[in-house]
Structure 1
């Protein structure tokens, strides 16, 4: 099949190139515009309590005031606020109100009694922004306008004015995301061009994967993803764009290397350019297609996730991988077919000389001679690192971890947690509602508030009353504002909210029910959803990848130990990241979605390298070599490709660490380290060593390693070319 594809592409190279350009323009031109979702609660299904609480709040309190932005005041000299400062704050609040900023519905005045910190140095005003604008650009724009206008009004007053809260966080997160995208893209571009250029000692070879990935594959993928989001009503996360860059460029470079190494190898065997391209596609096409299939399946299975951020991210990445693989199997060989081989590898002068590959030859000999020892050592490394992951602890401060600490919303959040109750930044809400239509009595409300106040970790509870407008118009629902002692996104706060739920449910009077809402409640439900995903998504993905491996390798045995090795790679990556960030750096935990991302890239892309190595091992076995000889040759000839691809992808992921925030530092380190494990420990040593130990049993019940089985020497050279028969044993 892939030999026929290679011949088709080579014969119609210019038509293939033209078709891709036309398709790219059409897909990009017709793609709808997509808005990223920054509200964590929007990613949860409706059956979770936090979402039900939000729906009840909207129904019972349609005009309820939930602050979307927080205005923080303090003196420039750090002293306590004075009576004159109170007048200045009133002037600023009134000025902002008079400015009639779009989407801003209400700005509460600074209450001298309730809106100041205990030390008197800070004061707070709360801003209500239209809830219907949360998914639009008007939401962060409102925060931006508040900052600009408030700073002007505060000028000369001796006060420092800052804006925090959800809208400001959304604004800062968007700015940080744009900067991160640029850093990641530029860093990855430079790395790919330099490293691929050095590997092939060529300028054009370094540029080609970048052009193919970012000029064709990336726009096509983005257009198709936008169509999928619109058609299937998926959510879009701000981090998708940065990850998409790495996936398309990283996977595209990997597949370009798979093809180019084989292309150069065929040229060295004496084939002309077009025959070499066609045979390279025939030889490595199945590995690329199987690898892309495994990666796409691993990504796509996230559609089963309980969290909207993953149900959108998974299919998006799957689409990107499929688009990139199609580019690699058709457009890349078409481009190589029309460019003279000397130009592709210029200015290198020894590209036609077969190198001795002394290091990889030595590694291959070691694996072939002592497969048991190699498997024991490499497997032992993976197992020890996996055991280090038992101390993993998840954290949920997504906004804070995805932005540098110097961003204004982060500064406000830190000051709120020290000057006020840590939970002031985003209080929780407990809704008590009658189920038989009767009104809630004052005594019932007071008794219920007392039970909530008694929960350890609760700083204060505001009992609903007609004065604070926390009782619904029909008197059947009360909104209890609960301030927690700990930061809303902390694990302590999440543990507290679980106790608040238990107490609220147990203490709800007869013919009433209680629902707990707020951002901490959302994080608690995300925690529950993640546990569900781990028990559903991972096993299904593993099963589907094993089926793909079984079909590609025509074996029942090989997929089991290949997936076991990838599982150890996952555990080893999580363990190493836990040690570095929790034990050494002192972080309270790792971001809650990190295991999913490690799964996405280490498990999925790590399978790529396993497939490439074992496909080469099978090819060598078909030439009549023993299992140990095949392992030796697979490492010798496939090792350089895996090493180059793994190094480039790991370096690309490492560029995340330049973004300057905790989330991307953790992502960058874990994914780079995981790819290094997958390429240099798992694929280079563990997999070929185990295959050598199992011998022919690895291919049971088929005979995929039998001499003459499969494509053998491939089809005849292209008509009109000067193909040269291959030397015996090197077909």
Structure 2
């Protein structure tokens, strides 16, 4: 027994397996209470998403000196034919009741309005109800808006009543995030169960990876909760949701690879402990390299300016690392404890033939070997053509109206409000300047194109000054989440920054969107190359080659471009989405490169193992035959778990889920099985340069499909 296999025996030995099980049970017993609290530790306030150095973030922090952080809910009343006397009386009664409201942070005493769209024969009215946003603001924004809705009623007889503005929209986003963990957990679990049943054809075997993945998820959630509470780790709804998908997807992938190798070793060894030790010894390096690729790629996100992106890095890395640990310890221990019968009804007995020897993937490898250059050339051209769909991509951000897969009340209210009032009402610019230059700053703002001059003023409940600073607001004529409004913010900033000694800053919802776009553009430029470098270094260390890693990186980039191209076409012409968020390309890239490279690692490490004994060309066909089925199954599981993001009623999640799932399928069925295989066959032994394999006999011809193409498991 080699040293590495001896280490593997510690996990799956006759005594070691029970030690591992007991240790994991203790871990789960200690961590389960904390895992359930992860939702409470989520921070979905604006500062958890905004870049810390952004001007809008600084305004948000300074404005707390003037007033408690507030977000206005806007109650919109409208009747196209004109508000009747009864309507106006009902609105007045609503305002009276709202002024007495104080539930869930609602500042009813500061209610403003009604404001009518015109002085005579008004058709619409707006009432502004501030909601205090403290450390629990995000959690109670939904109940706060519900309490406002209870007081204003539902209109009727032609009078439309809606709750919109930042408060109404935030409440709808909050409701969309409600139950995100459980929704994704059950969706991902359902996908995994179905795919494992199809893959294993065993109702008993699927329980082992499922239990192991759930144990990993609970442990990761508990660890992340503790870090969020005591080490300042930022967790929000986005990172918590992606955590579930990553742990289920990546963990199940590692389980599939280990089971495939274990099953092969069971056909060669009577002792299941010996079989598992060999399976871990031979498949372990590929699994560890794959997990390390994902973990390090996620940690690269720490270089991001966006708080939400930077926070996702360690959350995802912890999830994958714990999943990897569970699949290399708990999972093999459970398999050995239950014995061969767990594979029922297709039990791998000693001496039974390996179905991969003459399977689909063996035949495909032999066919590709006939004309590999033509195969990879045609495949690359097809993928390049698919990538032309990138011309249809609009990763410039999406408005609130386009952010939901359905149309909640706040969006309907926003559309109604824009017909009668300045489109930016309810979400104003927030300007802070030195008190001595306030008048000059105010004139500069009022004279800026896109600003409603008469809207300039001090909001109710705001201190007139604080330590020589003043705060005032201004309404924009364009919708607050539109590109036109962002251009207005740029003009206002240029105008106020030009006022000498004013030390003026411009914030508010639109300014925050603009700062997020700029930070994300910077993150795309910085992080994408860093991830490529990390992946390249891992591949070089694993394969001890330079040519093979460069080829693999090239195939993944081509796959990424094709996935984005096809996705953009689907978003435009199939789903009718208005566009993509600015961070969409970054997230899809990180997930596809980090996860998609896994399948290339599984394949190429097996090819390298076989090339030592058979030569590179024959090793390619053997590696494809041995790993084809398991990698296909793993790809389907990972694609299915990311597709589960589509169960959430938000376009950004649905787009990421669709694009990553599509990219994983391309990696599984096209890039790994066809493009990489044909490239390695065409380049031959030189693919291992500068390793000695590039100089030794690696040119064994591949002739007979009938000959054995499997050595010691895949």
Question: Common fold, TM-score beyond 0.5?
Answer: yes
**Does structure 2 retain, via aligned residues, the 8 Å contact 1:361–1:636?**
yes
Residue pairs, 1:12-411, within 5 angstroms:
12-29=16-33, 34-59=40-65, 62-63=66-67, 67-74=71-78, 79-106=81-108, 111=113, 114=116, 120-133=122-135, 135=137, 137-151=139-153, 161-178=161-178, 180-214=180-214, 216-341=215-340, 343-348=341-346, 352-355=352-355, 356-397=357-398, 403-411=404-412
Partner of 1:438: 436
SS at match of 2:407: coil
Alignment-derived partner of residue 705 in structure 2 = none
- 2:648 matches 1:654: no
Alignment map for 1:565-576 (pairs within 5 Å):
565-576=555-566
Relative to structure 1, the CA distance from residue 212 to residue 418 in structure 2 (aligned partners, 3 Å threshold; closer, same or farther) is farther
Q: CA deviation at 1:326?
A: 0.7
* Correspondence for 1:580: 570
Q: What is the deviation of 1:187?
A: 3.1
Matched residue of 1:123: which SS?
strand
Distance 1:54 1:292, change over 3 A: same
Matched, 1:451 2:447: yes
Of 687, 691, 697, the residue aligned with 1:702 is 691
- Give the aligned partner of residue 720 of structure 1: none
Cα shift at 1:312: 1.3
Match of 2:663 among 650, 674, 678: 674
Which ranges in structure 2 are unaligned for 5 or more consecutive residues?
699-707
1:722 corresponds in structure 2 to none
State the alpha-carbon separation in 2 of the partners of residues 67 and 114 from structure 1.
21
* Residues 630/120 of structure 1: CA separation in 2 closer, same or farther (3 Å cut): farther
SS in 2 for 1:125: strand
Distance across 2 between alignment mates of 1:466 and 1:247: 45
Name the CA distance, whole Å, in 1 between partners of 2:566 and 2:290: 26
1:484 equivalent to 2:477? Answer yes
Question: Which of 668-677 and 386-395 deviates more?
Answer: 386-395
Change (3 A) 1:46 1:655: closer
C-alpha deviation, 1:646, in angstroms: 0.5
Q: Check conservation: 1:90, 1:110, Cα contact below 8 A.
A: no
Aligned-residue offset at 1:136? 5.4
1:511 offset after TM fit, Å? 3.0
Structure 1 residue 526: deviation in Å?
0.9
C-alpha spacing 1:290/1:142, structure 2 compared with 1 (3 Å): same
Q: Distance in 1 between matches of 2:384 and 2:228?
A: 39
1:553 aligns with 2:543: yes
Return closer, same or farther for 1:416/1:305 CA change in 2, 3 Å cut-off: same
1:508-566 Cα offsets, whole Å, 9 max, x none, are 2x332432211111111111111221222222222222222222112233222222222
Check the 8 A contact 2:444/2:495 in 1, yes or no.
Answer: no
Preserved contact between residue 99 and residue 110 of structure 2 (Cα < 8 Å): no
Counterpart of 2:675 in structure 1 is 686
Deviations 1:423-457 (Å, cap 9, x if unpaired)? 224222344x34xx63544xx366424531xx2x4
Q: Residue 702 of structure 2 aligns with which residue? A: none
Counterpart of 2:627 (choices 638, 643, 646) is 638
Counterparts of 2:358 and 2:420, CA distance in 1: 63
Q: In structure 2, do the counterparts of structure 1 residues 85 and 697 end up closer, same or farther at CA, with 3 Å as the change threshold?
A: same
TM-score (norm 2): 0.89
Closer, same or farther: CA 316–51 of 1 in aligned 2, 3 Å: same
Alignment deviations for residues 392-441 of structure 1 (CA, whole Å, 9 cap, x no partner): 2224347655544333333323322344332224222344x34xx63544
Task: Find the aligned partners of 1:593 and 1:102 in 2 and give their Cα distance.
Answer: 33
Supply the distance in 2 between the matched residues of 1:708 and 1:283 (Cα, whole angstroms).
Answer: 23
CA 1:399 to 1:243, structure 2 compared with 1: closer, same or farther past 3 Å? farther
CA shift, 1:678, in A, is: 1.6
Where do 5+ consecutive residues of structure 1 fail to align? 710-725
- C-alpha distance in 2, partners of 1:195/1:635? 21
- In the alignment of these two chains, the number of paired residues is 695
Counterpart CA distance in 2 for 1:327 and 1:399 is: 40
Please state how far the C-alpha of 1:191 moved relative to its aligned partner: 2.4
Counterpart CA distance in 2 for 1:115 and 1:65 is: 28
Aligned match of 1:712: none
Shift of 1:345: 1.5
Contact 1:494–1:521 at 8 Å: present in 2 too? yes
Tell me the secondary structure at the aligned position of residue 542 of structure 1.
helix
Give the distance between the partners of 1:727 and 1:112, measured in 2 at CA: 79
Task: Identify the residue that residue 512 of structure 1 maps to in structure 2.
Answer: 502
Aligned-residue CA RMSD (Å)? 3.2
Bigger mean CA deviation after superposition, 78-87 or 64-73: 64-73
Cα pair 1:621 1:706 within 8 Å, conserved: no
Indicate how the Cα distance of structure 1 residues 279 and 419 shifts in structure 2: closer, same or farther if over 3 A, else same. Answer: farther
1:203-239 deviation line (CA, Å, top 9, x unaligned): 112232221111x101001011112223431322212
Q: Distance in 2 between matches of 1:410 and 1:699?
A: 57
Task: Give, in whole Å, the separation in 1 of the partners of 2:685 and 2:588.
Answer: 32
SS for the counterpart of 1:489 is: coil
CA shift, 1:314, in A, is: 1.3
Name the CA distance, whole Å, in 2 between partners of 1:632 and 1:118. 82
Give the aligned partner of residue 715 of structure 1: none
Greater Cα shift, 173-182 or 472-481: 472-481
Find the aligned partners of 1:43 and 1:113 in 2 and give their Cα distance: 32
Per-residue deviation, 1:464: 3.5
1: CA distance, partners of 2:454 / 2:272: 77
TM-score (norm 1): 0.87
